[in-house]
């Protein structure tokens, strides 16, 4: 896979720069006033999601020029290469096939001469059989009690998706089961998650693609000690521990029977793995049928992404709008505000997906990129966020494009509050786009002394994503939307969105420092002065 070195010298890029110059001072007020059909035209529907992107600082010409850039950068060819199982993760020499995890049984995707779809469904079937056993009580703990607690131990891609999905789909989950998620190597995380659980009724899911990650291995060892302190017999491990991993050897070495292991493959990146075996906790919580409905939602968005023309392609449009603000307006961040309490962990999940994918400084050929790459993604659920940091989005000096997500039907029986939630959602997008002028304030009789403080300039762009209800299908479609938006951005920049060498560096460095903290004798330290000093200070003060 090759990319042009000179993105900014391309005619399509230059055309966008010139166009930006003509649009920079345009306001959303003017754009809406001059174009009554704007809201209908800048809207697209796919896989049960509706995107209104009319409150962006764009015209039809912007969409045309961004689409031309995507064509010239080969975004469609790169997408097709991903679906065909080509090794587009060039730095690791791997295929990128999370789309295969949700492909129907009768599909065929070949990697290294082998169709991967039968294996994918074989694992899903084993997960379903196991989930059914746990949910029905047929799977017993060592002392014959049924499992009532499920603790997922994993970090990063082996944690954020399962935790987010469990919370998002809480309304569909088996309430007789308790779920906990342990990621942090801080022992407090494990202690808090297990302090009120009965080991006889607890199942640990050790989720680790590599089965070598320091945090997960430390927490898995803590879980083993905690379980055996009560269950005593080593044989109990087989009833209380399962593993989700690609590393059978390490799983066996840890003492987990590989019959209790659910596998996946090197072509599934951690941050793209919540729909693989890594989703076992989700499947136990909501049941195999709901899990399959989630996969169908993913697949519906995959199909839209694979087949829709760029100008009507929801993930491509979202990715191109992110490029528009990042590279032309100089926006550094994108806020994501789900108006749903159940999506509270969605921004954290997206943060990893977007920032680990597109936080890259070289292109696929190893050359330093010429432009800014991945934006900082962040957010909190509305309406909570309105009462904290929205002030800066409304009246601060930074441009922060915001994605807003809402659902037309509530999950809660307190339905009347849903109208309040949605009223806030629509009001915020309106206020951000159109603001409040001095004239409007005067007409409302506002104190003139306060006018400068009360004026809201507006012109703050938003994407509005609406769906009927937060169901498993909707969640799958929503996650796939952002996966493919990240893909589109990465393809424009010509970077490898599927490696994470920065994360690997941290893993290696921490392992080197551990013995320096724990050695009885003062170790010889060869770090920089600051790190040496911090290690010495910690050794002096560390209380046991």
Q: In what order do the strands lie in the sheet with 178-182?
A: 178-182, 149-153, 202-207, 241-245, 261-263
Beta carbon of residue 498, minimum distance to ligand G6Q (angstroms, whole number)? 8
Beta carbon of residue 74, minimum distance to ligand G6Q (angstroms, whole number)? 24
Q: Interface with ligand G6Q includes 158 (CB under 6 A)?
A: yes
State the Cα–Cα distance between residues 268 and 209, nearest whole angstrom.
9
Residues 347-386 that bind ligand G6Q (CB under 6 A): 356
x-marked contacts with ligand G6Q along 250-269 as a string, rule CB under 6 A = -------------------x
Question: From the candidates 163, 356, 380, 516, which is the catalytic residue?
Answer: 356
Question: From the candidates 40, 387, 444, 522, which is the catalytic residue?
Answer: 387
Beta carbon of residue 212, minimum distance to ligand G6Q (angstroms, whole number)? 7
108 in catalytic set? no
> Is the CB of 223 or the CB of 314 nearer to ligand G6Q?
223
Beta carbon of residue 116, minimum distance to ligand G6Q (angstroms, whole number)? 19
Beta carbon of residue 154, minimum distance to ligand G6Q (angstroms, whole number)? 6
Backbone angles phi, psi at 140, to 5 degrees: -105, 150
CB 204 within 8 A of CB 240: yes
Question: From the candidates 87, 121, 436, 507, which is the catalytic residue?
Answer: 507
State the Cα–Cα distance between residues 19 and 130, nearest whole angstrom.
56
CB 306 within 8 A of CB 188: no
Distances 29 to 56, 435, 457, 462 between C-alpha atoms, Å: 11, 9, 10, 14
Q: Interface with ligand G6Q includes 157 (CB under 6 A)?
A: yes
> Is the CB of 66 or the CB of 244 nearer to ligand G6Q?
244
State the Cα–Cα distance between residues 39 and 49, nearest whole angstrom.
16
- Considering only 155, 286, 411, 492, the residue that binds ligand G6Q (CB under 6 A) is 155
E-strand stretches of 417-473: 462-467
Host H or E run for residue 312:
none
Q: Interface with ligand G6Q includes 287 (CB under 6 A)?
A: no
356 in catalytic set? yes
Q: Interface with ligand G6Q includes 216 (CB under 6 A)?
A: yes
CB 53 within 8 A of CB 317: yes
Q: Interface with ligand G6Q includes 156 (CB under 6 A)?
A: yes
Radius of gyration of the chain (CA): 25
> Is the CB of 208 or the CB of 290 nearer to ligand G6Q?
208
| Tokens 């970077």 sit on residue | 495
Pick the closest to residue 128 from 293, 342, 302 (CA basis).
293
Give the angle 116-121-124 at the CA atoms, nearest 5°: 130
Q: Interface with ligand G6Q includes 43 (CB under 6 A)?
A: no
Beta carbon of residue 155, minimum distance to ligand G6Q (angstroms, whole number)? 5
- Stretch binding ligand G6Q (CB under 6 A), from 93-101, 113-121, 154-162, 318-326: 154-162
> Is the CB of 276 or the CB of 313 nearer to ligand G6Q?
276
387 in catalytic set? yes
Beta carbon of residue 29, minimum distance to ligand G6Q (angstroms, whole number)? 42
Which residues does 191 contact at the CB level (< 8 Å), separation at least 6? none
Q: In what order do the strands lie in the sheet with 49-52?
A: 43-46, 49-52, 462-467, 402-407, 333-338, 376-378
Residue 309 structure tokens: 């023309």
> Is the CB of 190 or the CB of 434 nearer to ligand G6Q?
190
- What are the beta bridge partners of residue 448? none
Q: Interface with ligand G6Q includes 208 (CB under 6 A)?
A: yes
Interface contacts to ligand G6Q, rule CB under 6 A? 155-158, 208-210, 213, 216, 269-271, 356, 500, 503
Residues classed as catalytic: 356, 387, 507
């Amino acid at each position: 896979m090759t990319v042009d070195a000179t993105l900014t010298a391309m005619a399509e890029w230059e055309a966008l720069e010139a166009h930006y110059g003509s649009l920079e001072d345009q306001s959303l007020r003017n754009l809406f006033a001059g174009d009554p059909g704007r809201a209908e035209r800048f809207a697209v529907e796919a896989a049960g999601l509706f995107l209104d992107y009319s409150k962006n600082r764009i015209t039809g010409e912007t969409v045309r020029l961004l689409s031309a850039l995507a064509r010239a950068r080969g975004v469609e060819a790169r997408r097709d290469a991903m679906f065909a199982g080509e090794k587009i993760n060039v730095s690791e020499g791997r295929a990128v096939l999370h789309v295969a995890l949700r492909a129907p049984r009768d599909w065929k995707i070949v990697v290294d001469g082998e169709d991967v779809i039968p294996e994918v469904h074989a694992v899903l079937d084993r997960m379903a059989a196991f989930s059914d056993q746990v949910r029905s009580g047929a799977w017993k703990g060592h002392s014959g009690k049924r499992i009532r607690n499920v603790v997922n131990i994993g970090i990063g891609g082996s944690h954020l998706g399962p935790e987010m999905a469990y919370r998002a789909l809480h309304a569909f989950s088996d309430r007789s089961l308790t779920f906990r998620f342990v990621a942090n190597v801080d022992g407090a995380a494990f202690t808090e998650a297990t302090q009120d659980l009965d080991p006889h009724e607890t199942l640990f899911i050790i989720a680790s693609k590599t089965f070598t990650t320091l945090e997960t291995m430390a927490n898995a060892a803590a879980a083993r000690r905690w379980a055996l302190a009560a269950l005593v017999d080593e044989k109990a491990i087989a009833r209380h521990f399962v593993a989700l991993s690609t590393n059978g050897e390490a799983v066996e070495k840890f003492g987990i029977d590989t019959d209790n292991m659910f596998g996946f493959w090197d072509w599934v990146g951690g941050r793209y793995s919540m729909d693989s075996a890594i989703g076992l906790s989700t499947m136990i919580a909501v049941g195999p049928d709901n899990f399959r409905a989630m996969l169908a939602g993913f697949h519906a968005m995959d199909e839209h992404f694979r087949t829709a023309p760029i100008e009507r392609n929801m993930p491509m449009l979202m990715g191109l709008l992110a490029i528009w603000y990042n590279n032309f307006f100089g926006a550094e961040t994108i806020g994501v505000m789900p108006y749903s309490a159940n999506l509270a962990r969605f921004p954290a999940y997206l943060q990893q997906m977007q920032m680990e994918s597109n936080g890259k400084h070289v292109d696929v050929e190893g050359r330093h990129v010429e432009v800014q790459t991945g934006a900082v993604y962040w957010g909190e659920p509305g309406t909570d966020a309105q009462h904290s940091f929205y002030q800066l989005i409304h009246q601060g000096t930074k441009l922060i494009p915001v994605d807003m997500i809402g659902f037309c039907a509530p999950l809660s029986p307190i339905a009347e509050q849903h109208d309040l939630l949605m009223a806030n959602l629509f009001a915020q997008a309106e206020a951000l786009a159109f603001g409040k002028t001095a004239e409007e304030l005067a007409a409302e009789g506002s104190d003139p002394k306060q006018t400068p403080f009360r004026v809201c300039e507006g012109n703050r762009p938003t994407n509005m994503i609406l769906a009927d209800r937060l169901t498993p299908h909707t969640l799958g479609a929503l996650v796939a939307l952002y996966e493919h938006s990240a893909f589109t951005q990465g393809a424009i920049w010509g970077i490898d969105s599927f490696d994470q060498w920065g994360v690997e560096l941290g893993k290696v460095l921490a392992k080197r420092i551990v013995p320096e903290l724990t050695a009885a004798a003062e170790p010889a330290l060869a770090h920089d002065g600051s790190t040496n000093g911090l290690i010495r200070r910690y050794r002096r003060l560390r209380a046991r």
